[in-house]
Amino acid sequence: MNDILGRIFSAGTFQQMLRSATPVALAAIGGSMTEHAGIMNIGMDGMILMGAFFAVLGSFLFQSAMAGLALTLGVGLIVGLFFALLVVKFKSDEFIIGCALNTFALGLTGYLSDSVFGASGAKGNPSLLVVRLPFLRKIPFIGTVLNGQSILVWVTVVLMVIMWVFVYKTPHGFWLRASGEKPETLRTAGISPERMKWIASILCGLFCALAGAYLSLGQLSGTFSKGMSNSRGYIAFACVIFAAAHPGKAYLAALMFGFFDAIGMRLQAYVSSELTQMIPYIITILMMIYVVVRQNNRRRAPRKLQGMAKS
Amino acid sequence: MSERMQQRLRYLAFLVISILLAFGIGAIVLAVTDHEPLAAYKAMFQGAFSAPRHIGDVLEYAMVLALCGLACDLGSRVGIFNVGGEGQLLLGAIVACQVGVWLKGSPTWLVMVLAALAAIVVGGVYAFIPGVLKVKVKVNEVITTIMLNTVAALLCSYLVKGPWQSSSKYVTAGTEKLNAQYWFGGLIKGSKLSTAIFAAAVIAFFIWYVMQRTSRGYEMKLIGQNPRFARFSGLRNDTVVILCMTISGAICGLVGMFRVYGAEHIFKSGISNDYYFEGLMVAMIARYQPLTTILLSLFFAALKIGAEGMQASAGVSNHIYLIIQTIIIFFMAAESGIFTAIENRRMQKAARRAALARREGGTDNE
């Protein structure tokens, strides 16, 4: 038993947790933007996959990880614009577009990967900077956890704080939230909700591209394999729902998913990793039920009070 | 021409244009990556129709697409969106397969009936849960079914590596192979087509008949389109919605059983590669109309099998068919939006022209 607990709460677990959580957290922060704008975005998986592919493609073509990052952000921008064009401008069903986007990404990246890299896929291209700080190494536990992580792990934390402030402390964030909750009120105030939805979609495209870049250039050294997003988009979506689209909470939710992923790997000798990976999904469903039930109760409460006042 | 007829014509025209455009964009992608587009499309056509066994594979995949699409139609008709078909299919398949493994030696009819029942029950229950959550608690069914899909996939992957793992060393992650006596009979040598397609045809006809030709079907439409009116006219919305969702899941479970007993004869990872999602997209392109869903299933099945043949014969990655398929969906999903945008632009132009004319020729008119 002590052995198991020791394995769960070791530095290795938390190091792995950060690694698993970072791409999910990036996508979830992006997904929080579209969620606030009232768009149910389940196309994040495809966005991540395209992000991963074009990051490697850029890295391969220009032999520079920064070029890969630039290319994938450019593509992320286009994907976000495309998503907004269909969902906001043409008012298509966001759910269908999301589904189709996932499949489209699978097809496009699979096809291009076959054409450019051949059957074996892309390997060993320049990857992103790994941060190793000498003073961190001296701190026992935290040093092992934090040292040797990709620069994107750190960038994610910074971006999380920025988006948190953006959503809750700036006028644009206020309008963004209003564009999903009360679009007509926002329009009356003279601000176009459609514009906020466009911005949210673009942000989501960019964040998912970063998440993909982390997968292909951060975690592995410049590697792409087909379907490598591996349903992380859906996990990110679960985080968004779990966190009620709060960037900070979404980050924590991603850490939770990362944690269960990590202990799944660490405890393979004891429990099947599939079973531990299942836990966060079930928690998300229970969480949703809890949130909805609480909302329903709240809505009912005033009526109860009215009834009491009458009697 | 009646309005309905006009709508149908518009739909058909848009569908044909979308398909042509998608193939056009596909040709550009092919040309950019140094393939001869016409030769590739010819290889694709041959891959689907050049031999009986190819046609058999097309029909088998069309069966899967059509049933998945119809399962989706059934839900969306009453306003609930079953995205969890993938999970229901996987669980139905694995349980049905395991029934066959457990009852080794029992009579064929008993095993097949029990396996089908097990698949129906498992798929149904797995859809019933999000159905009840949607109706009674108002939890968004799209989200819960997506979560349940992943749970089901993880569960299957656990089972085939753990308790239900094959003892054969040639199968790394899969159940035991089914005894040949329990298989659906093959119809065309070398293809995956089996007699399961007859059962599928009966189910498909039944769903079409109920949805389009009975008053039950009309009630379903009413509940989907105007739930309040339906409730006031005495329909039990909640029960119908949950029932439709459960049946939708049961069909998906049964598709899993057909896949195992008809085509693969074992449960392993290839039993479904997001087949339900492809069926769902076919249903969406068909605007959730049962007959159109069935017809389009044939088209998209031919596209997919053809693309596999093309990969083998012409060396073009078969992923091109996913690109073509999703471009069609993008166009079809945006149809009304594109129409409105064109209409708006035309009206704006007309208004501007009228305004200009008024300004320029103002003195003449007044």
pLDDT digits (tens, 9 = 90+) for B58-89: 999 999 999 999 999 999 999 999 999 999 99
On whether both B184 and B288 belong to a single domain, the answer is yes
- Residues in contact with A302: Cβ distance below 8 Å, sequence separation at least 6, in sequence order: none
The reply to whether B285 and B322 lie within a common domain is: no
For strand A130-131 and strand A149-150, is the pairing parallel, antiparallel, or unpaired? Answer: antiparallel
B30 in any annotated domain: yes
Segment among A156-165, A218-227, A254-263 with least mean pLDDT: A218-227
- Stretch (H or E) spanning A150: strand A149-150
B21 and B108 part of one domain:
no
pLDDT winner (highest mean) among A259-263, A294-298, B154-158 = B154-158
Orientation of helix B52-77 relative to helix B85-102, angle to 10°: 120
pLDDT in tens, A125-171: 788 878 877 777 778 788 778 877 888 999 999 999 999 999 999 99
Nearest 10 degrees: CA dihedral of A292, B74, B123, B87? -70
pTM of the model: 0.89
CA–CA separation, B227 vs B219, rounded Å? 10
**Residue finishing a domain among B249, B274, B305:** B305
Please give the CATH topology (third level) of the domain spanning A2-310. Answer: ABC transporter involved in vitamin B12 uptake, BtuC (1.10.3470)
Taking an 8 Å cut-off on Cβ atoms, the answer to whether B278 and A103 are in contact is yes
Q: What is the ipTM of this complex?
A: 0.88
- Which range among A273-282, B14-23, B223-232, B292-301 shows the weakest confidence by mean pLDDT? A273-282
Residue range B148-166: average pLDDT?
Answer: 90
B114 shares a domain with B259: yes
Look at residue B366 in the predicted model and tell me its pLDDT: 43
Contacts of B63 (CB under 8 A, 6+ apart): B196, B197, B200, B258, B297
User: What is the DSSP-derived secondary structure letter of residue A224?
Assistant: B
Domain membership flag for residue B60: yes
Residues B282 and B335 in one domain: no
Q: Give me the pLDDT at residue A1, please.
A: 65
Top residue of A115, A267, A277, A282 to mutate, by most chain B CBs within 10 Å, is: A115
- Of A290-299, B57-66, B122-131, which gets the smallest average pLDDT? A290-299
Residue B366 lies in a domain: no
Closest Cβ opposite residue B323 in set A104, A231, A238: A104
CB contact under 8 A, B319 and A281: no
Question: Could you say which of B144, B284, B317 has the minimum Cβ distance to residue A115?
Answer: B317
Identify all chain A residues contacting B327, using CB atoms and an 8 Å cutoff: 104
On the question of pLDDT at B92 being above 60, the answer is yes
Question: What would the two tokens of residue A164 be?
Answer: 């948190």
Sign of CA dihedral B327, B333, B335, B341: negative
CA distances for A204 relative to A107, A173, B108, angstroms? 21, 14, 53
Closest-CA residue of chain B to A93: B333
Percent of chain A with pLDDT over 70: 95
Q: Which residues in A have their CB inside 8 Å of a CB on B?
A: 40, 42, 86, 89-93, 95-97, 99-104, 106-108, 110-112, 114-115, 231, 234-235, 237-238, 241, 272, 274-275, 277-278, 281-282, 284-285, 288-289, 292-293, 296
B122's CB contacts (< 8 A; 6+ apart) are: B88, B91, B92, B95, B253
- Residue B362 in any domain: the answer is no
Domain span including residue B240: 52-305
Structural domain spans, chain A: 2-310
Q: How far apart are CA B193 and CA B170, in angstroms?
A: 25
What does B196-213 look like in DSSP terms, one character per residue? HHHHHHHHHHHHHHHHHH
Contact between B325 and A90 using a beta-carbon 8 Å cutoff = no
Structure tokens at B45: 């056509």
State residue B251's pLDDT score.
97
**B154 and B93 fall within a common domain:** yes
The pLDDT, as a whole number, for residue A225 is 86
Q: Provide the domain count of chain B.
A: 2
Among candidate residues B251, B253, B199, the one with its CA nearest the CA of residue B90: B253
Q: What is the CA radius of gyration of chain A?
A: 21
Cα angle at B236 between B235 and B241, to 5 degrees?
Answer: 115
Q: What is the pLDDT of residue A304?
A: 52
CB atoms within 10 A of CB B244: 26
